[in-house]
Amino acid sequence: MGAFTLIRFAPQASSDDITKFLEANRLQVAAGPMAGGLYKVRIGMAGLPKSEIETIVKKLQQDKVVGFIANVD
């Protein structure tokens, strides 16, 4: 298991940009693409405090590769 988020990558992001983003942030794609171009991405281990997940999501949101991001409960 783990902590997950939904991400839609920015339209201008190349596959190389996305790969570098995933590697740099130690993220793993768990599912996708789904409807709307969303990917379910593992952002951490199971049991991460909600506040830590929110901090990670806010950091990821700043990256130009991310078009949309949302927590998955």
**Rounded-to-integer distance, Cα 53 and Cα 47, Å:** 10
pLDDT tens-digit map of 29-66: 999 999 999 999 999 887 888 888 889 999 999 999 99
Fold held by 3-71? Alpha-Beta Plaits (3.30.70)
User: How many other β-carbons are positioned within 10 Å of the β-carbon of residue 13?
Assistant: 17
Residue 49 makes CB contacts below 8 A (sequence gap 6+) with none
The token pair at 61 is 């949101």
pTM attached to this predicted model:
0.87
**Rounded-to-integer distance, Cα 19 and Cα 45, Å:** 20
